Structure 1
């Protein structure tokens, strides 16, 4: 008899949508904080992120365009490889996964909550067409490494000038 797989359903958490301006805000904050220009306007009030608005947790990636293949590394800490799904299209890779939250009853008031839990999905465009059926994946220490062979028509060819 086949073993039946059960999936635990977790209550959805309120997540703030990522804004395209968030990274720019962080860069300006870092620049101004280094120079001390904004210090008079700073307060000790917590930001919305510190109050409990979690940002979506998307893996950070490095992509290297090599002669015959594309190398992609993705940071996915805190995820078991059985919770990670990789799908490769002709010119894109989609990573999906989910971190599970172990519910613990903690005594005291929650002071800071930054560890995010839940599902994520990220699709990344590739610089050339790849053959997904020949892709190789290695997962070690929270880093996923994909080797994606290019299709023949996408490989670089040297053209000599006559």
Structure 2
């Protein structure tokens, strides 16, 4: 059950040890998502689609939007709590790190089921322009993390008229 409230997530500036994904790693990740781990076993009947699985340590999908005055980064983080997300900015790199912790227990008469899922994720993206990290804002709403980064004055788009 998703809450429909906005939660602020702190953004910190620091040295990031993560690196940005190369285009080939991103393509490999997409290939893995498309075919899944069971593509070598085509006759296995109990298959589930990756979209049906809960977010458990996978690399989050990220959109980077370059606007005139700001850069907006949106990431899919279903089931992740704001306390479990860390956002760092190092130069032109933005890193999202976090952890997923899920425990589920069900007990009905003689039936007892317990599931635990833990996993960590990290995703680093390169920002398209210089940003003012001191004015960065981040919110987590319904599993979507949105980081708004205002551009510094010198990197904003300008139109120059020809005389």
Q: Tell me whether the two structures share a fold, i.e. TM-score over 0.5.
A: yes
**TM-score, normalised with respect to structure 2:** 0.61
Answer yes or no: is 1:96 the counterpart of 2:97.
yes
Q: Is the 8 A contact 1:57 1:116 kept in 2?
A: no
Q: Is the 8 A contact 2:57 2:99 kept in 1?
A: no
Deviation at 1:86, TM superposition (A): 0.8
Match of 2:85 in 1: 84
Match of 2:64 in 1: 63
How well do the aligned residues superpose, as a CA RMSD in angstroms?
A: 3.6
Aligned length: 126
Which runs of 5 or more residues in structure 2 are unaligned? Answer: 1-24, 36-40, 51-55
Deviation at 1:43, TM superposition (A): 2.3
Note closer, same or farther for the CA distance 1:139–1:150 as it changes in structure 2 (3 Å cut): same
Give the secondary-structure state (helix, strand or coil) at the position aligned to 1:71: strand
> Comparing both chains, which one has the higher relative contact order based on Cα–Cα distances under 8 Å and sequence gaps of 6 or more?
2
Larger radius of gyration: 1
Q: Is the 8 A contact 2:105 2:112 kept in 1?
A: no
Deviation at 1:42, TM superposition (A): 4.1
Provide Cα deviations, 1:89-110, integer angstroms capped at 9, x if missing partner. 332211111011327599699x
Q: Is the 8 A contact 1:90 1:132 kept in 2?
A: no
Match of 1:14 in 2: none
Note closer, same or farther for the CA distance 1:158–1:94 as it changes in structure 2 (3 Å cut): same
Matches within 5 A, 1:1-162: 20-24=27-31, 42-44=42-44, 56-102=57-103, 117-162=118-163
